[in-house]
Chain A
């Protein structure tokens, strides 16, 4: 059912796709990912949701499958271990190294130090959860741990991304598509404040177990740990109650006070991202279905190849947008912080 193993040519700008499980990993491999990123089934990664992620056997199988097709596996261990549970993270890191992951994506400096000492050959990527928004911060991790790639938080404009790239030897990976964190990653305790679980320590934002949907006389209400995140009129399209994407009241006005439920989509920026030297583009969505991964990977592979081949005449194909629209959150798109007025 899988295509025969045929390592593809290395791309100057890698497409990094989400794998919430083995079927999604295989979908990404089949449709043209250069790398997939994955995590274990626990709080050692920032998508700690039930039914998601890999146990040891499925991760070994995933790495074998991906590498046989010339695709790299990046393992996310991008939450913050505490004094009490530190060994869980180091064991996860040891397993990632043992199973042959191509790199680990880390946020905690102490864990990077451990990785450097214990597995000096293991390639280190700086997670978006490390909140490194400047080249000074990125170079800090380079100096101390030899980090080879950094994933930028979704806060910089395109010109600022170019500035970072010009001032660091570290490869830069940016988010290209998917759910949009409006807050600086690694610096958001909204979910922890409301539910007790947050991205930093337990790897979950607005966790499913805290979600309630309730049909009321005033409409469909969505709550997170009792807090009313939104209320939808009859016929209105409802969304998952992520705290930053609710409608709230400020000075008598009810609106999306923080951010609309839109997806980040930077397809139109691709030639510019290639030009400024972005090394990899990350697709968000480990919590999404294999069908989503297949669809998005396919479109982005085609787009990246075209942008690399002929950046000057690159244009976003309406067909790509139509396919991405089918799988987007909120069915609308934004350029996020890359487009300065968004800020």
Chain B
């Protein structure tokens, strides 16, 4: 099983982002997904900066994958998308069907990753994406183990399956920016306030139960989804790549624990218990066990 790092979902100052990716170069990762997928207004890093980082990841022995934006609204979003699709030398992850269309028309044809936002839930849709050039696909975060196993069994030959194995769940996208809303600002004049909240804005219920995290137009779970304790089942299901989503701090330690568990140098139970010290919130894994996503289900290998 390979280990990947998902795209950075938060908006950090340029220097912090660059410093983070200098650390990533040294992390034991096979694949690094790059680019701004959440908000087109974020501009601390430009397309050229991401391509530069991609080059350094390749030099560090990793596969670099550039990701398209999840929510395409305007003509300028499409312009940026077309430019990205025209980028040669790196694999791309498609995060909407517009990106799939553009990627499938590339000459000469090149493989791509079908991203987590494409709603691939059955083998017929997956086979279609395979015919259009997808060589790897990322399961929707809601997908449970049984659904995934059945789908992997029926998947086209050579199609690699990737699952989000660690990180706050990207639950929803909106046209509205909830960070701007918190400051009574409009998105078009948002003052880029999300840059002040490296891990997003925490949302609690009126009885102080931690519930969600607002990250601009994206809403995340407050709990941290983790399949470290379920890693044996993940492997048995036929998953080829497990993805870790970057967090505010401790990403390197988390990568190291997953790597050790994958290589068998650390027992998954032990890895899962050590993981707790690096998690910003309580763990959950309900989706994998066909339960509400916020639940924590004890797996065979412990939680």
Contacts and interface: CB of A to CB of B under 8 A. Distances in A.
Interface stretch (A14-22, A82-90, A322-330): A82-90
A11 to B, nearest CB: 28
Nearest to B180: A343
A258 B219 contact: yes
Contacts of B146: 84
Interface in A134-192: 134-137, 139-141, 143-144, 154-157, 160, 163, 182-184, 186-190, 192
A244 to B, nearest CB: 8
A30 interface: no
Interface in A183-215: 183-184, 186-190, 192-196, 198, 200-201
A137 B97 contact: yes
B248 interface: no
Nearest to B295: A196
Interface in A235-259: 244, 246-251, 253-254, 257-259
B24 interface: no
B120 to A, nearest CB: 9
A337 B75 CA distance: 16
A250 B294 CA distance: 19
Interface stretch (B98-106, B233-241, B263-271, B272-280): B98-106
Interface residues of A, number: 71
B96 A230 contact: no
A196 B294 CA distance: 9
B205 A198 contact: no
A83 B142 contact: no
A341 interface: yes
Interface in A316-343: 337, 340-343
Contacts of A122: none
B46 interface: no
Contacts, number: 215
A194 B294 CA distance: 6
Contacts of B169: 189, 193
Mostly, the B contact residues are mixed
A7 interface: no
B140 to A, nearest CB: 7
Contact of A155 (B71, B125, B206, B292): B71
B221 interface: yes
Given A189-B293, A250-B201, A107 B172 contact: no
B70 to A, nearest CB: 8
A183 B219 contact: yes
A111 interface: yes
Given A139-B101, A247-B206, A82 B121 contact: yes
Nearest to B132: A144
Nearest to A248: B203
A132 interface: yes
22 contacts: A82-B121, A110-B127, A130-B119, A133-B73, A137-B72, A137-B97, A143-B101, A155-B175, A160-B73, A183-B219, A187-B71, A189-B169, A190-B171, A192-B142, A194-B293, A225-B292, A228-B205, A231-B206, A247-B206, A249-B205, A250-B204, A257-B181
Given A84-B150, A108-B119, A227-B205, 15 more contacts: A107-B119, A132-B98, A133-B98, A134-B73, A135-B98, A137-B97, A156-B73, A163-B74, A186-B119, A188-B172, A201-B121, A230-B206, A250-B182, A250-B203, A340-B186
The 7 nearest A-B residue pairs measured at CB? A110-B124, A136-B98, A155-B175, A110-B125, A137-B98, A83-B150, A140-B101
Interface of B: 70-75, 77-78, 81, 96-102, 117, 119, 121-128, 140-142, 146-147, 150-151, 153-154, 169, 171-178, 181-182, 186-188, 201-209, 211-212, 214, 219, 221, 286-287, 290-294
